[in-house]
Amino acid sequence: MSTHNRVLISAKAFIDHPQYFAPLADAGYEIGICEEGPLSAERLIELLPGHIAAIAAMDDYNAQVMAQASDLRVISRWGVGIDNIDLDAATRHGIVVCNTPGMVTSAVADMTFALMLSLAYDIPAAAERGRKGHWVQEKGADFFGATLGIIGFGSIGQAVAYRARGFDMRVVAYDPYVDVTQAAKLGVKLTDLSSVIQQADYLTLHCNLTEDNYHLIGAEQLAEMKPNAFLINTARGGLVDSAALLDALRAGQIAGVALDTLEQEPPDPADPILSAPRCLITPHNSFYNETSVRLVNTQVVQNVLDVMAGRRTQFVLNPETLR
Q: How far apart are CA 186 and CA 181, in angstroms?
A: 9
Active site residue 236: yes
Choose, from 77, 93, 206, 236, the residue flagged as catalytic.
Answer: 236
CA count, 13 A, side-chain hemisphere, 108: 28
Choose, from 284, 290, 311, 320, the residue flagged as catalytic.
Answer: 284
Choose, from 17, 265, 290, 311, the residue flagged as catalytic.
Answer: 265
Q: How far apart are CA 44 and CA 66, in angstroms?
A: 10
Active site residue 265: yes
Contact 260, 115 (CB under 8 A): yes
- Of 102, 116, 214, 118, the C-alpha closest to 156 is 102
Own/partner pairs for 72-76, CB < 8 Å, 24+ apart? Answer: 72/48, 73/307, 73/308, 74/98, 74/303, 74/304, 74/307, 74/308, 76/100, 76/300, 76/301, 76/303, 76/304, 76/307
Q: Which residues are designated catalytic?
A: 236, 265, 284
